[in-house]
Structure 1
Amino acid sequence: MRALPLLLLTIACPMALGGPLCTNADKAQWQDQAKFQENLKAQGYEIKKFKVTDGNCYEIYGLDKDKRKVEIYFDPVSGDAMQEEEEEEEEQY
């Protein structure tokens, strides 16, 4: 019976991070942050805020190539988008 609360906490903890777990790879394998951002800008993204999340993701807030407000989590090793959300409300960056 005591295992149930522990199981629930284990399941809920990743949800508390507010984003996905992108990688468990050593940070030596991650793409350089500045180069990664430059690559996104070359693809038409406008980055208002960039950060590394607790889930080992590169996260951006900004505009996509169609000028829509987005929040995107990227795998810092592969560069793949792991989760993307269009922002509907005005958010301060």
Structure 2
Amino acid sequence: MKTKLILIVSMLTLAPQVYAKKNCTSEPKSKWMNESDFKAQMIKKGYKIRKFKQPGTCYEIYGQNPKGEKVEVYFNPVTAEVVKSEIDD
């Protein structure tokens, strides 16, 4: 019983973190970098874009970083700064 309670409390504690949306900017879309300009800038920096998405307030790419590692990266669409980067194994 105690183990189940610990498991439930752990799941409830972690749930908001799992489902929280990324907040990359609070700027209006009118200030966002054009998607094609953004992609061109990332390619120039050495990223290889396999898939591009625009979830919520972020630009997101799946592909390879300049080191050739397989990545998922969230960017601020105004500044093109990396907000979060995950390297896939």
| Matched AA of 2:28 | D
Which structure 1 residue ranges, 5 or more long, are not aligned?
A: 1-7, 89-93
**TM-score, normalised on structure 2?**
0.77
Q: Which entry has the higher C-alpha Rg, 1 or 2?
A: 2
Identity among equivalent pairs (%): 34
Which structure 2 residue ranges, 5 or more long, are not aligned?
A: 1-11
- Where do 4+ consecutive residues of structure 1 move more than 6 Å? none
Report which of the two has the higher share of helix.
2
| Matched AA of 1:79 | A
User: Over aligned residue pairs, what C-alpha RMSD do you find?
Assistant: 1.9
Distance 2:79 2:43 in 1: 17
CA offset digits 1:12-53 (Å, max 9, x no partner) = 2x7414x52101211000000000000110111100000101
Q: Tell me what 2:5 maps to.
A: none
Q: Tell me what 2:88 maps to.
A: 87
